[in-house]
Structure 1
Amino acid sequence: MSVRIRRVYETPEPEDGVRVLVDRLWPRGLSKDAARVDEWPKGLTPSTELRRWYHADERSYDEFARRYEAELAEPEAAELLERVRAWAAKGDVTLLTSSKTPEQSHAAVLARLLGE
């Protein structure tokens, strides 16, 4: 089992396993064929309010992660997180994001939680 984070704009690789788009909005300029996304659980993504808060005035990543984890504890998100955890238990999962800094994004929070 492995959980990877990749930018959705990178060329898909065979070792990606289940490719899960973890952004609420579809990536600009990318066709669905080129993205090769297997799953798109929108309910697992940060709320619009949290995304706007984080991107305003370079907010703290640690505070963003804390708030996002609280959102992930809500029933719908928790159920989706467990679904992705089940996929990871069976094989490789790649979390896809359009973020230019995936290591400082919600994808990193998800990868950490899935690895616990």
Structure 2
Amino acid sequence: MSVILRRIYGEEHPLEGNRILIDRVWPRGISKEKAKLNEWMKEISPSPSLRKWFDHDPDKFEDFKKAYQEEIYGSKTAQTKLQELKKMATNERLVLLFGAKDMEHNHAVVLKEMIEG
């Protein structure tokens, strides 16, 4: 299983594999051609209220992680998307793209753990 996390900004050499944008909002200044996406899965991203509450505050990360997992497990659509990502990761490299600056405290980290777990 190969799951790679990549920030979509500043990606000079896009990694090959199944490239999935997992943000709810399209990243500013990035064209669809430059992104080279296979899919944009906004359904798997945190809700706007959870995202605004978290505000990328490392002190809130553990609570954010629990709340985000609950959102995914509480939504049939998000569960379906999670299963799709797990299947992709077993067959080829899965590149999860996101816009957050903090590489350790973001929803992509949580999602990667869920896919690999």
TM-score range, shorter chain: over 0.9
User: Structure 1 residues 18, 63: closer, same or farther in 2, change over 3 A?
Assistant: same
TM-score, with normalisation over the residues of structure 1?
Answer: 0.92
Which residue does the alignment assign to 1:115? Answer: 116
Tell me the distance in 2 between the aligned counterparts of 1:108 and 1:57. Answer: 14
Q: Which runs of 5+ in 2 are unaligned?
A: none
Does residue 98 (structure 1) correspond to residue 99 (structure 2)? The answer is: yes
User: Structure 1 residues 57, 82: closer, same or farther in 2, change over 3 A?
Assistant: closer
Which residue does the alignment assign to 1:75? Answer: 76
Runs of 4+ that moved beyond 6 A = none
Tell me the distance in 1 between the aligned counterparts of 2:91 and 2:18. Answer: 10
Question: Cα deviation per residue 1:78-113 (whole Å; 9 max; x = unaligned)?
Answer: 011001111111111010001001321000000011
Task: Give the superposition deviation at 1:56.
Answer: 7.9
Question: Cα deviation per residue 1:64-88 (whole Å; 9 max; x = unaligned)?
Answer: 0000000010211001100111111
Which residue does the alignment assign to 1:51? Answer: 51
Question: Cα deviation per residue 1:7-51 (whole Å; 9 max; x = unaligned)?
Answer: 01213123xx10010100000001110111111111100000100
Tell me the distance in 1 between the aligned counterparts of 2:19 and 2:116. Answer: 16
**Root mean square deviation of aligned Cα:** 1.4
TM-score, with normalisation over the residues of structure 2?
Answer: 0.92
Which residue does the alignment assign to 1:84? Answer: 85
Which residue does the alignment assign to 1:19? Answer: 19
Question: Once the two structures are aligned, what percentage of the paired residues are identical?
Answer: 38
2:2–2:93 Cα contact (<8 Å) kept: yes
Q: Which moved more, 1:57-66 or 1:4-13?
A: 57-66
Q: Which runs of 5+ in 1 are unaligned?
A: none
